[in-house]
Structure 1
Amino acid sequence: MKWFKSLSVAALAIAMVATSVSAAGAASSLKGKIVINGSSALLPLTLQAANEFKKLNPKVKISASAAGSITGPQSVRKGIADIGAVDWDASQDVPGFKKFDGQVAHKVAIIPFAAVVNKNVKVDDLSTKQLQDIFSGKVTNWKDVGGDDADIIVVNRAFGSGTRVNFQMKALQGTDFISKGNNYKEVKSSGDMKTAVETTPNAIGYIDLVYVTSNMKAMKINKVAPTEANVVNGTYKVWGYGYYMTKGEPNEVTKAFIEYIQSAKFQNGSLKKLKFIPISAVK
């Protein structure tokens, strides 16, 4: 009887190993190439997901670049990218941009955006009105909003940025940006914004939370901090969905990659560690 039980256990173990090998083989049989372009806000998520997906599917090649949200659907339309990463649904009209006909939007993350200042700035909280006045150029000195007597350096993203679209719509409620002046800088990407705010005393800009470092400060807006909890409970309003745009329905390998990012494992694991919020968190 003991011999029979041992044999049964051994047979079960062999069956489990065989099943695992078979499943691994099936997973690794996927092959192809995926080209991704667009949002720099979504780039950390894209790179992390690509790294994980390629380990599971070594026959899949993924290349990713980020030149701003608008370049995502533009690249898809031109046929030079399979996925366009965008900080808005590019299949719909949004202020400043017409929809991209024939493209399908796939939600991949919730992106919290924050007004950020250089660590030397002694202001911790700004109202919507104060943000509007600063970014439109009406208020030019930190002393006018409770800080030191120092000129405010406004750092803005170039037109075509999804972070810019979200910040203007949700933090500034549509108010126009200042566009020139000695105290105005314009940058092309989230990485450039990070560097500019970190290295420019008295600077203010805006960025998604994944890029916030100890050399800058994420501001409260109307006394509400830009945290995951406050996005989920509805008190912090400056956030948007991140999308992957495809020309029509994606092919097999692209679909598998998008579904991996949308999976509960990635959404509740690597995505949250990067300070994005799972798409299921907000109803």
Structure 2
Amino acid sequence: MKWFKSLSVAAMALAIVTTGVSSANAASSLSGSIVINGSSALLPLTLQAKSEFQKLNPKVKISASSAGSVTGPQAVRKGIAQIGACDWDATKDVPGFKAFEGQIATPVAVIPFAAIVNSDVKVNNLTTQQLKDIFSGKIKNWKDVGGDDADIVIVNRAFGSGTRVNFQLKALEGGSIVSTGSNVKTVKSSGEMKTNVETTSGAIGYEALAYVAGSKMKALSINGVAPTEANIINGKYKVWSYGYYMTKGQPTGVTKAFIDYIRSAKFQNGSLKKLKFIPLSAIK
């Protein structure tokens, strides 16, 4: 009898181990490839999710690049990407861009945006009107907004940038952005924006908060309200947007699995928050 009981216990243990191995194998049997293009604001999030997802699913290959939000749904429409990362819902018209028909917009994160300045700028807060006057080219010296007597250098994102779309609509209330002049630069990505503002004395630009932490630039308050997670959640700070993954129709297969992972509670409340994005569930 004791021998029989021992054998039964051993059999049960083996069954549990075997089941665990089978489950692990099943979990890692997912295979396929995903090409992601579009938003540079979302790129840090995409790269982190890619790294984690590929460790869990080593048979999956993911390539990610960024050339501005509008290139995301464009790449999906052309069939060269399965996911188009975009800082607006590209199934709807926004100023300057028509809706991309036949695509599905799945929100994956809340993106806080901020006006940013070089660390030598002695201004910490600007009003909406001051921002509008600076970016339209009306105000050209920091002394006119409480800073030192120094030229303002405007760093712009190129047309097609989701960061630009959101900043112009929400921080500038749709106001104009000057595009030419000796004190104006235009850059193609969030990374280039970060580099230019950090290295250019008197520079001002706009950026997703994911690029600001630990950098040689600072995010400004707008109308006395700082660009923090708490102020976005309580409705005081308005310069933010949902970040979307655009797909041709409803996502399926490995594409759906990756999007489900980035939307999972574990990722949203873990890596996503560490990167200074805000979980979808935080906005009611």
Question: So what's the TM-score if we normalise by structure 2?
Answer: 0.96
Q: Deviations over 1:101-122 (max 9, x none)?
A: 0000010000000100000000
Compute the displacement of 1:214 (Å).
3.3
Q: Deviations over 1:111-153 (max 9, x none)?
A: 0001000000000001111111111111000000000000000
Structure 1 equivalent of residue 252 of structure 2 = 251
Within-5 A mapping of 1:32-43: 32-43=32-43
Partners of 1:207 and 1:5 in 2: how far apart?
Answer: 66
Structure 2 equivalent of residue 21 of structure 1 = 21
Within-5 A mapping of 1:207-218: 207-212=207-212, 213-218=214-219
Q: Which runs of 5+ in 2 are unaligned?
A: none
Q: Which runs of 5+ in 1 are unaligned?
A: none
Quick check: 1:193 aligned with 2:193? yes
Structure 1 equivalent of residue 133 of structure 2 = 133
1:133 is paired with a residue of what secondary structure? helix
Structure 1 equivalent of residue 203 of structure 2 = 203
Q: Deviations over 1:8-46 (max 9, x none)?
A: 765554444323212211111111110000000001111
Q: Residues 152 and 3 from structure 1, CA distance in 2 versus in 1: closer, same or farther, beyond 3 angstroms? A: farther
Q: Residues 12 and 148 from structure 1, CA distance in 2 versus in 1: closer, same or farther, beyond 3 angstroms? A: farther
Compute the displacement of 1:5 (Å).
8.2
Q: Deviations over 1:129-179 (max 9, x none)?
A: 111111111100000000000000000100000000000011000001011
Partners of 1:3 and 1:122 in 2: how far apart?
Answer: 81
Q: Deviations over 1:159-209 (max 9, x none)?
A: 000000000011000001011111100000000000000000100000001
Structure 1 equivalent of residue 155 of structure 2 = 155
Structure 2 equivalent of residue 66 of structure 1 = 66
Runs of 4 or more off by more than 3 Å in structure 1? 1-16
Quick check: 1:282 aligned with 2:246? no
Compute the displacement of 1:95 (Å).
1.2
Q: Which amino acid aligns with 1:242?
A: G
Partners of 2:33 and 2:161 in 1: how far apart?
Answer: 26
Q: Which amino acid aligns with 1:30?
A: L
Q: Which amino acid aligns with 1:137?
A: G
Q: Which amino acid aligns with 2:19?
A: T
Structure 2 equivalent of residue 100 of structure 1 = 100
Compute the displacement of 1:258 (Å).
0.4
Q: Is the deviation greater in 242-251 or in 152-161?
A: 242-251
Q: Percent identity?
A: 75
Q: Residues 6 and 184 from structure 1, CA distance in 2 versus in 1: closer, same or farther, beyond 3 angstroms? A: farther
Q: Is the deviation greater in 244-253 or in 70-79?
A: 244-253
Structure 2 equivalent of residue 266 of structure 1 = 267
Partners of 1:2 and 1:202 in 2: how far apart?
Answer: 83
C-alpha RMSD of the superposition: 1.6
Q: Is the deviation greater in 214-223 or in 5-14?
A: 5-14
Q: Residues 125 and 30 from structure 1, CA distance in 2 versus in 1: closer, same or farther, beyond 3 angstroms? A: same
**Residues matched between the structures, number:** 283
1:280 is paired with a residue of what secondary structure? helix
2:281 is paired with a residue of what secondary structure? coil
Q: Residues 275 and 10 from structure 1, CA distance in 2 versus in 1: closer, same or farther, beyond 3 angstroms? A: farther
Structure 2 equivalent of residue 84 of structure 1 = 84
Partners of 2:154 and 2:12 in 1: how far apart?
Answer: 66
Quick check: 1:164 aligned with 2:159? no
Q: Which amino acid aligns with 2:226?
A: A
Compute the displacement of 1:2 (Å).
9.1
